[in-house]
Structures are given as structure tokens and as C-alpha cells.
Structure 1
Amino acid sequence: MDVGYAEGFEYYAQNAGAQIAANDAAERIALAEEEIAALAEAIEALGTNKSVDFLSGDIAEYLLAHTFNVDAILSESENRGTVPRVTTFASPDIVLNTGEEFQVKSYADGAKSAKAQSVTYQEAANNPSTKAAAAHAIAQGDVDQSSPIYEGMGRVIPKGQTEDAELFLDRKAAKESVTRKANAQRYSETKSKLSEVVEDKKGIKSKSFSREESKQIARDAKEGKLNLEDYGISVDQMIKAKHILASSLKAGMSAAMIAAVLKAGPLLVSCIEELVATGEIDLDRFQDSGTDLATKSGSAFVTGSISSAIVEAMRSGLLGESVKDFNPSIVASATVVAVNAIRNGVRVAKGEMGNREFADAVVRDTFISAVALAGGAVGQATLPMVPMIGYLLGSFVGSAVGGITYNAGQSLLMSFAVDRGITFFGIVDQDYELPESTLKSLGIEVFEYERFMPDSASIDMFSPDALPFDTTSANNYQVSFPKRGVIEFGKVGYIS
């Protein structure tokens, strides 16, 4: 496999998960903002003809349902709440797609709200507005007259009324248990279902609103000056640390799985080819590749988690309005480059990597990242109907092209440095120390100073020899020029 392509693929394997995590975070925040916009539209659609008291009751239902949905979106839950606006007898005010139902009552105090939530079929049959429907239900024989008409539903009351409501229900239950035990059960059942929020079984819940808040929102809506942010209904006010932490961890796991799949693909293909060709598999190579796979997956988990957290904080407005619309793909790429730089920095500190290698790794990641971003933009433009798939395909091609291009450019740079002797402002180190073989050919004795030991002095006896005469021949002389080349990373010197 081409070295440049391999480097590009390595980058893509780590970057793909981070890109998906960052864009998912951006989409999640966009959906939450759309839900808040839908709440504003629903309140506006209620009109201004009703009195503040009646309008605030209707508004409370939408406030609870839509803020529940915002929390569900930020928590990556598929559960959603709707306001059916059905006026039939004992119908729910809010329904979740899980099948859970809620009744909303907003009266002047907790006792009155609790009383309305605990109405029985018998009491409803005595009320002129519900008499016919309640009497029909009793006549059918499907209900107990002493049972509450909202039995099984969640009972939502305004914020701040719970204490008074529970006190009222406890007193009524205690009183009725002495004379009418069957009738006392409705108060206990109502208390067990009482809440100030709409909440599902997985902990997704709405905001709570006081009666006065709902009425003030109604006044603002009637006057055409409603701003939901004034009541804590905005993404930056509703998003919590638990949302970012949970989604970032989930994004990190997804990124790690993506990296594992991308890295394992070529390995599995290679093993299958080896098995077909030789009938066996090199388990040692498989084990080494598995270790590398775990390392890359761990790195992808980190970049995916960080990318998701940063984009979610940016898009929600927690980091300020100036970065709210920042491109999530750029954030993901910058995160990958930064994490790689930190990891390589640790290797430099441990002596496992040189400074020049570190600088080259940062430049390489940055270059491949830029080309991958360009490729992703082209891919997204080519396949606009499936933006994420188009972006990932374009990013893959861009990563491969970036790796190959950078590797070719680096080879060209080193070749130019060898031929011209330039350093490119310190990027390349020009070493002019002659190699040992050249020094020996010149008759220079080479020794290692760490091992040099002087010989002991000795006196030799002098005896003159006959003077020899050698004839000179031109063939005894050889002329050679030392060659220069790359002797180590980023370093040019004599090789022979």
C-alpha cells in the first residue's frame, strides 16, 4: 500500500467518527431550536380572543409538551409529547408516543388544583357540563363511580403548588378512610400521580411553570411581545451538563466503533487473501494489528467525544454568539489535529519522537485535514440529498489525496534539499560530517573516543633497512565524490 495513501486512510479512520459526532451535535441543537420555534407558533395560533385565565391554561399544555420534547432531543431520546386538543370527556391534555397520558390543571392554589385532579365519575355526573358523558360511562358498567376520571394519567399542576396539593390530598384521604374507604383511594391515587412536570419513565421531563408565569406568557402573547427566552425557554438555558456529557460519551463510542470497522476492514481482507493463498493466517501479525486497532479506536473515542461536546456547547450558545454558527466539520478536523499533536507531544517528552518528526506530523495532519474538508464539501455538493454520506465519501477521497500529495511533496522537498543544499528555513538539517567509510578511504584512522585507550610506551631497537624504490603508476590513484542523501528524518548528509 502506498505510504501516502496509508497515512490518509489512518487520518480518515480517526476523523470520520469525529465528523459524524460533530454534525450530529449540530443537528441535535438545530432540532431543539425548531421545537422551541414550534412552541412559539403554537402559542400564537391559540389567538388572543380568550381571557388571560383561559388562555394561560391552554398555553400551559403547550409549554409542558414542547419543553419535554426539547429535553428529549437534547437527551437523544425518541420520546415526544403532543397536545391533542381533544375536548371529549376525561380526555388527556398531553400524550406521549410511549402511550403515557397527562392531565393538566391550573387553579389558584394547590388544594383547588388537586381537587380538580381527583374528581370521580360520581362527582362528574353531578356537574352539568360533564353529566351526560359521566352518566353514560357509569351506565356502561366499565367504571367504578368512586374512581377518579383521570385514573392512570399523570396529574400535572403549576410549579409551587405541590406541597399544598399533597397536604389537601392527605387530609381528604385520612378523612374518607374512616367513613368511605373506597372513596379514599382516589386521593391516594391522585397523589401518587401528582407532578409539576411531564416526565416519562426514562427521566425525560419538561420544565415546570407557575400559574403566574403561564398567565404572564398569555399577557405577552395577547400584546404580541412574547419572548420565550424571558421564561428560560432557549437551548442555552435548557441544555445541561448531563446532556453534553451523555451525548459526547455516546458520540465517542460511535466514533470508536467507526474507527474499528474502518481499520478492521483492510485487515480482514488481508487475512482472507492470506488464508486463500497459503491456507493459514499469521496470528502474530493479527495480534499486532489488533493492538493497533484498539489504539486507534481509543483515539477516535477521544476525538469523537470532544468534537461532540464542543459543537453542542457552541451551537447552543454556551460559548457565545460569535461561534454559534461555526462549521462543525472544521471543529471535528481541528480536534483530530489537536489530539494527535498532544499525543505526539507526549511521545516527544518521552524521547520516542524527535522535534522534527513532531513538526512534520502536525503539518501532515493539518494538510490532510484541509484537503479532506475540501473533498467533503465537494462530496456534499455532489450528493445534496444525503449530505452526511456525500460528505464522508468526499472526505475519504480528500484524505487519500491529501496523504499521497503530502508524501509526494515531502519527497520532492527532500530531493531538492539534497541537490541544492538548502534548509528551507530550518525544516531540513544539512549535515556535512563525512561518513566513516570516506574517512577510512582517505587514510584517516577512525576510533570511538569512548573506547580509546593509549598504548603503553615501549622502546624499539633501530635497525636501518635497505632503501626501497617504488615505481609510480597512474592506475594507483582513484578519484571519487561523496554522495549526499537522506540519512535520517529531516536530515541530509553524506551517505558514501
Structure 2
Amino acid sequence: MSVFNDTFRTAMGAAASAHGTHVSAVYTQDVNSAIDAAFEAIRAEAHRVQNVDIKFAKGNIAEAYHAGTFNVSAVAKGQTGVSAEMMINNKTGQDIRYGQLGVDERVAELKYYITGEKTAKALNNPGYSSGDKVVPADQLDEVHQVASRESLRNMETRPEVAETYAHTAENASDRLEYGDVSSKPLSNQEAIDLTKDLKSEDAVNPEDHGLIINEFVEWSDIAREAGQAALHAAAFSAALTAAPYLAKAIVNGIKKGEIDLVTLSEGAAAVATSTPQVALRASIAAAIVSASKAGYCGEAMKGMSPHAVGMATAMVINSIGYSMKYAKGEMPGNEVALNCIKDSIALASGLLGASLGNSIIPIPVMGALIGNMIGSTIGAMAFQGVHSVTLGICVESGWTMFGLVDQDYQVPEDVLQQCGFDLIKVDRINVQRFEPGRLQVQHIDVQTTGMVFLRRGVVGMSAVGYV
């Protein structure tokens, strides 16, 4: 049972890193899927206005662009209930509706004219003042200046016109915004270029127009996802760690008729010591995967396998722990090496198990997590079995297995005591003066001598000696 407990703890450590990588992989995949959906919506709108002149069609493309990038931002920010959609209804001031649709939604009017002054004047419609106003990013300052100027100029003679311009000066923006979710600003020239590309026969690369994951995922989003992965992994670990103690406490409670506080306290201590490390593993792995997939670590790292990241993270954290114990004298060097070998085998098995788990259990994260734990446990137990056989060979042959097995030829103290030797531990020797008196010789009775045959065997962690 102790072998299983040890291997299960190894599997738990691997599962924590795997959980973090799977959560981040799903997150980045969701963002990429939202980008693909946004681009398809923009392409569909371009097809709808294929026969419209570019100077007019660019406004429709801008609407699709703002709605699409707003939806991508919502996914990147983890706001599942927030979205935007174009309103093909020709109602005044209602080009796009966005926010929590049907619950707390807003409407916006978009104008993309050739200059900021023309855009500002095009927005001078009282029907647009019931919602937000979106203008080209390169015209935003000019729109504000023109609207403020026209508001002051018409204040005395045409107060209703002045009020409309004042609304534009206060509310015109280069993006849709709802909380921390926002669309991506688009200049007038960018709208023209995008429309031209979509109307041409050539293939269009979304990345050329800002539709790329690192334009939407920020370091704060990576930190948030890493924190959520850590929280989920910690909760999962706490549940698995506490379960055996709770079951034991219940069984003992039924037998004794009272709550087993000792077992419960042991379970609480185990949860307290294991949970922080599990959370650390998951958060580090999640942050690495999110940053890599978002392009913050370079183009080459975008294609890095999340499973490989989880394996590397677990190996590094385990190695740090073993090294600290070795530095404090709590673990010999050969045990450090053996534990690192065991971890690599367990993690590699977990990697294979995660792939099989995804195939057998097509539930996001869950299939890979279960497969990883089973694979890691089997791999660690297989290592224990092979290691036991290897130690048996070392006992018979004296082989040190490249220095990983300590061949200790000293007889252990417990064996010497079993043979009848009195072991003296001398802390301090007090020397006294010896004064010989009369020497008396007594009769010595010799009894039968007992014999104990020593054999070589395992006397410690990867240590062979006489037992």
C-alpha cells in the first residue's frame, strides 16, 4: 500500500501541471476560435456588399470588424455572457447592439467618412443621441474638436443642434466598450485596406488586419487564467487528498460510535501541505502555456505542446524540492537521482495517458486529467517494480547501477544487537586513577556460542548491506 501511496502522490503532482496546461490550452483555443468566427463574419459582410463601392462598403466592414473583435475580446476576458451583433434593420442609431444582450445591452452608430469633420457632421442626427457613437481611430481627436466647436457655435441660435454636437463630443469613441471588454480600434485607411483585400481575388491573411491572438490576450488575462487553473487544481487536489481520510474517519466512527478526530486532523494536515504545491504547479504551467500560445514567447513557441509544458513544469518543481532536501542533508544524492528518474517515467506515462484519456473520454480537460493520473500512477508503480528487481540484482552481484545504489559493507547496529553485541555510545570519557589491589582470578564458565549468519540485502533507500 505504501508503494501505491507514493506513486499516487507522484501522479497527483503530474496531474496538477497537466490540469494547468489543459485549462490554458482550452482558453487559447477558444480565443483563436473566436478570431476565426469574427473573420468569417467580416468576410460574409464583405460578400453581402460585394457590389457596393468601397467608400460606402468600408462602413459595413467596419461594423462587422467592431462587432467581431468585441466578441473576441469577451472570450479573452472570460466574459461568457457578453457579446455584440450587427443589426441589419436600418433603424436610426442602431448599427450594433452589444453588452449582455437582452439583459443590459447598448446600441451604437458607426460613421466612417473621409475626414473627421465630415464624420462629426454625419453624426449630427438627434436619433443617434440615444446610443454610443463609433468613429475611425485616426479621426477621433478631430471629431471631438469639430463637435465641441459646432456645439458652442450653435448654442444660442440652434440649441437642439448644439445639444446633438455636445453628445458627439462627449460620447464618440474609436471602439465599443462594456466593462473591460472592447472592440479593436480601426482607422479609416485600415477599413479601406480591409475592404479592398476582401473584394479582391487574393487570399486574405487575418493577421495582416490585427486579427491575431496576442492583440487580444494581455498579461493580465494570462495571470487570471493561471489563477483560475491554480484554484481548480487546488480544489481537485484537496478533494482527492481528503477523501481517504474522510472515508477512514467514517468507518472508524461507525465502529467506535464517535467522530475520529485524529484521522480528520491528519487529513486536514495532508490537505494543508499538498494543496499549495499543487496550486503552484498548475499556475506556472498555465501561465507558460497561455503566454506561449498568445505569442509572447515568440512564434516558435506557439506550436509547443501543452503536455510537454506540464511535464517540464512538474519535473522542474520536483527537482527544486529534491535539491533543497539534498542541500539540507535530508536526502542523499542517489535518492535525488532515483526520484528524478521515477518522475520522468511517471510524467511520460501520464503524457501518454492524457492522449488516451482524450480519445476515450471526449470531455474537455476531464478526459486528459483522468488519463494523466492513471498513466502517471501506472508509470510510477512500474518504476517501483523494476527498481525492486534491479536492487535484487545489485544484492547478488555488488553492482552499484552507475552509482545510484550504495553498496554499504558495514553491519547495521540492529544486526549487531541481535548477535549479542553491546553497543556503547560514548559521549564523554571520564578517566579515573587506577590503583591495583590484590588480583583475584575467578573461574570462567564457557557457554555454548550462538551463531547468526548474515546475508546481504537492502538496508536503506537504494543501499545494500548486511542484514
**Equivalent residue for 1:103?**
109
Cα displacement string for residues 353-380 of structure 1 (whole angstroms, at most 9, x for unaligned residues): 3323322332222222222222232232
Contact 2:409 2:465 in 1 (8 A): yes
Q: 2:181 aligned to 187, 196, 204, which one?
A: 204
Letter paired with 1:23: H
Match of 1:56 among 46, 50, 58: 58
Q: Once the 2 structures are TM-superposed, how far is the Cα of residue 17 of structure 1 from its aligned partner?
A: 4.2
Superposed displacement of residue 258, structure 1: 1.6
Please report how far the alpha carbon of residue 490 of structure 1 lies from its aligned counterpart in structure 2 after TM superposition: 1.9
1:337-367 deviations in Å (ceiling 9; x for gaps): 3212222322333333332332233222222
Which residue of 2 is the match for residue 486 of structure 1?
Answer: 458
Give the C-alpha shift of residue 94 in structure 1: 4.6
**SS of the counterpart of 2:411?**
coil
Matched, 1:6 2:5: yes
Distance 1:55 1:256, change over 3 A: same
Residue of 354, 367, 373 corresponding to 1:390: 367
What is residue 424 of structure 1 aligned with on the other side?
401
Larger deviation, residues 34-43 vs 48-57? 34-43
* CA drift at 1:320: 3.4
Q: CA deviation at 1:397?
A: 2.5
Q: Which residue of 2 aligns with 1:272?
A: 250
Helix, strand or coil at the partner of 1:476: coil
Match of 2:133 in 1: 155
Aligned with residue 303 of structure 1, among 275, 281, 284:
281
Taking a change above 3 Å as real, the CA distance of residues 294 and 193 of structure 1, as seen in their structure-2 partners, is farther
Distance 1:350 1:478 in 2: 42
What is the deviation of 1:290? 1.4
Q: Whole-Å Cα distance in 1 between the matches of residues 23 and 418 of structure 2?
A: 66
- Amino acid in the other structure paired with 2:56: F
- Deviation digits for residues 229-266 of structure 1, max 9, x if unmatched? 23333113443222212221222122212211222222
The corresponding residue for 1:476 is 448
- State how 1:33-432 maps to structure 2 within 5 Å: 33-45=32-44, 46-47=46-47, 48-78=50-80, 79-98=82-101, 99-120=105-126, 149-179=127-157, 181=159, 184-200=162-178, 202-223=179-200, 224=202, 226-383=204-361, 385-386=362-363, 388-432=365-409
77-86 or 269-278: which moved more?
77-86
Q: Do 1:244 and 1:312's aligned partners in 2 also have CA atoms closer than 8 Å?
A: yes
* Amino acid corresponding to residue 290 of structure 2 in structure 1: E
Distance 1:437 1:343 in 2: 32
Residues 92 and 153 of structure 1 are in contact (CA less than 8 Å); yes or no, is this contact kept in structure 2? no
Judge conservation of contact 1:68–1:204 (CA < 8 Å) in 2.
yes
Is the Cα contact below 8 Å between 1:4 and 1:403 reproduced in 2?
Answer: no
TM-score, normalised with respect to structure 2: 0.87
CA distance in 2, matches of 1:267, 1:361: 26
Q: 1:414 to 1:11 in 2, by over 3 A?
A: same
Query: In 1, Cα distance between the equivalents of 2:89 and 2:57?
Result: 16
Shift of 1:207: 1.5
Shift in Å at residue 5 of structure 1?
A: 2.2
Which whole-Å CA distance do the structure 2 matches of 1:301 and 1:248 have between them? Answer: 9
Going from structure 1 to structure 2, the CA distance change for 1:54 and 1:438 (only over 3 Å counts) comes to: closer
Which residue type is aligned with residue 287 of structure 1? S
Moved more, 433-442 or 233-242: 433-442
Range 84-93 or range 267-276, more displaced: 84-93
Report whether the alignment pairs 1:19 with 2:25: no
Q: Shift of the alpha carbon at 1:180? A: 5.1
**Aligned residue identity for 2:31:** A
Q: Give the drift of 1:157.
A: 0.6
Query: Given that residues 3 and 407 in structure 1 are in contact (C-alpha distance below 8 angstroms), is that contact kept between their aligned partners in structure 2?
Result: no
* Length-normalised TM-score, structure 1: 0.82
Q: Please report how far the alpha carbon of residue 183 of structure 1 lies from its aligned counterpart in structure 2 after TM superposition.
A: 5.1
Say which one has the larger Rg.
Answer: 1
Offset of residue 440 of structure 1: 7.9
Q: Name the SS for the 1:103 alignment partner.
A: strand
Per the alignment, do residues 417 and 387 of structure 1 end up closer, same or farther by CA in structure 2, a change over 3 Å counting? Answer: same
Aligned length: 459
Which amino acid is the alignment partner of residue 80 of structure 1?
A: S
Query: Aligned with 2:128: secondary structure?
Result: coil
Q: Contact between 1:4 and 1:406, CA under 8 Å: does it hold in 2?
A: no
SS in structure 2 of the partner of residue 102 of structure 1: strand
1:276 Cα deviation (Å)?
A: 1.4
Deviation at 1:446, TM superposition (A): 5.7
Instruction: Give 3-state SS (helix, strand or coil) of 2:125's partner.
Output: coil
Return the alpha-carbon distance in structure 2 between the equivalents of residues 42 and 311 of structure 1.
28
Q: What displacement does 1:205 show?
A: 1.1
The residue type paired with residue 185 of structure 1 is E
